[in-house]
Amino acid sequence: MKIFNCKIPDKIKFAILLGLLFFTFQVEKSIAQTKSADNQISDGLSEKIHISADKLISNTPENNAEFIGNVRAIQGKTLITADRLQFFFNGSTNPGDNPSAQSLERLVASGNVIIKFDNRLAVATRAVYITAKRLLTLTGPDATVTSGENTISGETISFYRDDGRFTVDGGSNGRVKAVIMPGESGLE
Give the pLDDT of the chain (188 residues) as one tens digit per residue.
444 445 555 555 444 443 443 333 333 332 233 333 333 333 333 467 788 999 999 998 999 999 999 999 887 887 889 999 998 988 755 555 554 456 878 889 999 999 997 778 999 999 998 989 988 899 999 899 998 899 999 999 998 878 888 899 998 777 999 999 887 555 55
Domain coordinates in residue numbering, the chain = 1-93+100-110, 119-188
Angstrom distance (rounded) from CA 11 to CA 85: 18
CATH for 119-188 is: 2.60.450.10
* 8 secondary structure, DSSP code: -
User: Cα dihedral sign for 111, 119, 164, 35?
Assistant: negative
Instruction: List residues bridging with 127 in a β-sheet.
Output: 109, 138
Residue from 108, 106, 68 nearest 89 by CA = 106
The pTM (predicted TM-score) of the whole model is: 0.69
Direct distance between the N- and C-terminal alpha carbons of the chain, in angstroms, rounded to an integer = 35
How buried is 114 (Cβ within 10 angstroms: 0-12 exposed, 13-18 middle, 19+ buried)? middle
